[in-house]
Chains A and B, each alone.
Chain A
Amino acid sequence: MNKIVLFIFCILTIGFSNGFAKEKSKDGVTFSINQINSPAVNAFFLARGFSMEQIKPYSDTCVYTTILRNDNKEDNIHYLRKNWFAKKNTISYSVKTNDYWLKATKANPSSWIAFRLSQMPEEQIYEAKGDWNQGMLSIDLLLGNTFDITIVWDTNGKPHELTIEGINCAK
C-alpha cells in the first residue's frame, strides 16, 4: 500500500511529465500546465477504483496537471472553467465539464470523489496574496497535437485572459 501511495504521489507531483511544463503570469495571476501521460493517468485512476474501460475515454484525451495562483495584493479573482478553451488552427476546443466525465466514466460515488477533487475546480474564487489550486485538466484533442490554451477570469467584474501558446500533447 505504501508503494501505491508513493506511486500516486509521484504521478501527481511530477506529473509523469513529458518534461515541458509551461508557465505564464499576467495581471497578478500565474498559470502553469504540464502534461501527464496516459499510462500515468490510467494508473492514478485505477488506484482510485476505476476500471480501465471507465477511465480510457478520459486518459485518451490530453491530460495536464495545472496550477492557478492569485498573487494580486488586494483583488480576488473568480473563474469559470467552462470559459477556458484550447485553440488549434483557429478551431476552439472546450474543457469538458465534470458532469460529462461522470456520465462518460459511470464512476461509482467513492471513485467520483477522487476524480472530481483531482480536477481543476470548475468554479473558484481565489483571494489575494496567494490562494491557489493544483488540478488536472483534460483537453479533448488527440495525442500528438500542439495547441494554445486560454484561461479566463474576472477581477471585480473586469475580464482578464492569459494564453499559453504551443502546448504539446505528446503521444
Chain B
Amino acid sequence: MLNNLYKSVIIISLLSISNLQASQSGLTKHLTEVSPQAIAPKLKLEDTDEELIDIKSLKGKVVLVNFWATWCPPCRREINSLERLYSTLKNKGVVVLAVNVGEDDATVLSFMNDVEPELTFSVLFDKDSKTMEKWGAIGLPSTFIVNKKGKIVYKAIGGRDFDNKNILDKIVFLTKEK
C-alpha cells in the first residue's frame, strides 16, 4: 500500500513542477546582525557518532548553529550551501553544528546518506526540542552565528544561501577577530 501511495506522490509531484516555482521562496543571501550581542545559550548534544558536543568547548572558533529537520523543505534546500560554506571555511576555524530537531537517528542518518555531496559537518540531535527553545528559535530553519567569544552576532530565520559572498564575507571577518 505504501508503494502505491509513494508512486502516487511521485507522479503528482512531477505533474506539479510548475507549481513548485510559485510555492517556493528564494534562499536569502543576508544575515541579520544581533544587537546587543548575547552569550550563546547552552548547547550540549550528541552527534551522529553518539559523542557529546558542547559549544562551550568551541570558544575561539566561529560556530554556525543551524536548527533543522529532514521534512522541512527550506532546510533541505539550504543544506548543500551549508556544506559548501563549511568546506570553504573549516580551515579558518569555522565549525558548523546542524542541530536536528525532534527526529530519530535512523531518519536523520538515512537522509544524510542520500545527500550529495556528503555532509561533513557535525549533525546533532535535539530530540525533545529543548535546546531549540533555549536558543529562542521558533521556526525551522533557524540559524545563529557565534563569534570566538561565544556571543551570538548574526541570526537568520528561514532558508539561506550560505555560500554566497555576502554571508561568507561576514563569517570570514569573524574568523579574523581576536
Residues of chain A touching chain B, judged by Cβ–Cβ distance below 8 Å, are 1-17, 19, 21, 23, 30, 32, 34, 39-40, 43-44, 48, 65, 67, 69, 109-110, 113-114, 117-118, 120-121, 123-124, 126-135
Contacts and interface: CB of A to CB of B under 8 A. Distances in A.
Interface residues of B, number: 46
Main secondary structure of the interface of B (DSSP, over half): mixed
A74 to B, nearest CB: 11
B19 A117 contact: no
Contacts of B101: 113, 117
Interface of B: 2, 5-6, 9-10, 12-13, 16-17, 19-20, 22-25, 28-30, 32, 69-74, 76, 101-103, 106-107, 110-111, 113-114, 127-129, 138-140, 155-159
Given A40-B9, A117-B140, A124 B157 contact: yes
A11 B9 contact: yes
A132 B23 contact: no
Report the 8 A-B pairs with minimum CB-CB distance, sorted nearest first.
A130-B28, A113-B102, A132-B158, A127-B32, A21-B22, A131-B157, A129-B30, A133-B139
Contacts of A10: 9-10, 13
A111 B108 CA distance: 16
Given A117-B101, A132-B159, A9 B73 contact: yes
Contacts of B22: 21, 23, 32, 34
B157 to A, nearest CB: 4
